[in-house]
Amino acid sequence: MAERYDLAAIRRLVQEYFIDDDFDNFCFDHFREVYRNARGLSFSQRIRYLIDYADTRDQVRFLLENIRLLRPDKKTEVLLLLGENSSPTSLQSPSIGV
């Protein structure tokens, strides 16, 4: 069974921690399919697209762990969303058709 996350809290976290170009770079680096398919959408729409993409593919943990690595100043918030205080699992990009 897939883990359940507070997607509204994750959306707020992403909105707070990224500006437009940084978000696009993050998607390019970690979620290439989102980067390609979300072009032309507003910033808010791209954030929702990413979260939905990660949620429907059981990649929310991967999303949060990469945010934590990119923004170590926000480690506590991300760990709370992950529901843990332990070290991250492997951060290799999940296999997707690119």
* 41 secondary structure, DSSP code: S
95 lies in a domain?
A: no
Domain limits for position 63: 7-82
What is the pTM assigned to this prediction? 0.77
Phi, psi of 67 (to 5 degrees): -65, -45
Q: What is the pLDDT of residue 3?
A: 73
pLDDT digits (tens, 9 = 90+) for 43-81: 999 999 999 999 999 999 999 989 988 877 766 777 777
Q: How confident is the model at residue 2 (pLDDT cuts 50, 70, 90)?
A: low
Q: Is 38 exposed, middle or buried (0-12, 13-18, 19+ CB in 10 A)?
A: buried
Question: Total domain count for the chain?
Answer: 1
